[in-house]
Amino acid sequence: MAWLVIAFSLLISGPALAASAPAMSITVSPDDRAKQWMTLVDDQNYADAYQQMGALGRGKIAVDPWTQKIRDARAPLGAVASRTLKDVKMTKTLPGMRDGQYATVRYDSAFARKAGSVETVTLILENGAWSVISYFIN
């Protein structure tokens, strides 16, 4: 019971403690960020999806070729029917990339014209937020 009283008193004095504590960056999970970004792709907002990619992703390809490439990959599949998180893998390195904090998020996905697919979204932690740097469909 004593720990409950201490926890409650810390909650009440939170604003005073927060003023002296260093600010912490709160980020959305890699899975949530990947889903937010894929919603743009699902809605065919390819230019917006490109603009929301991290600098590392945008630095690999210009907007027009990227937009055409993603359109060519997604159009034959049709609309997303389902998407289920398969796994999230965190790593400090990726082949050909600088060291950093990376997440590879995979989904078991079904589309109107292709039932068994795996979507892979790779993200990097930049300035306290997850940014998409690549997207693949198998």
Q: Which residue ranges make up each domain of the chain?
A: 28-137
Please give the span between the terminal C-alpha atoms of the chain, in angstroms, as a whole number. Answer: 54
Dump pLDDT digits (tens) for 68-118.
999 999 999 999 999 999 999 999 988 888 889 999 999 999 999 999 999
* pLDDT exceeds cutoff 90 at 132: yes
The model's pTM: 0.79
Facing residues of 117 across strands? 109
Question: What pLDDT was estimated at residue 10?
Answer: 28
pLDDT above 70: residue 6: no
Q: Of 3.40.50.620, 2.60.40.10, 3.30.465.10, 3.10.450.100, which CATH number belongs to 28-137?
A: 3.10.450.100
User: What's the whole-number average pLDDT of the chain?
Assistant: 83
Instruction: Extract the tokens encoding 29.
Output: 């999970």
**CB contact at 8 A, 34 and 85:** no
Q: Quote the pLDDT of residue 99.
A: 86
The length of the chain in residues reads 138
**pLDDT at residue 7 is higher than 50:** no
* CB atoms inside a 10 Å sphere around CB 55: 10
* pLDDT for res 44: 95
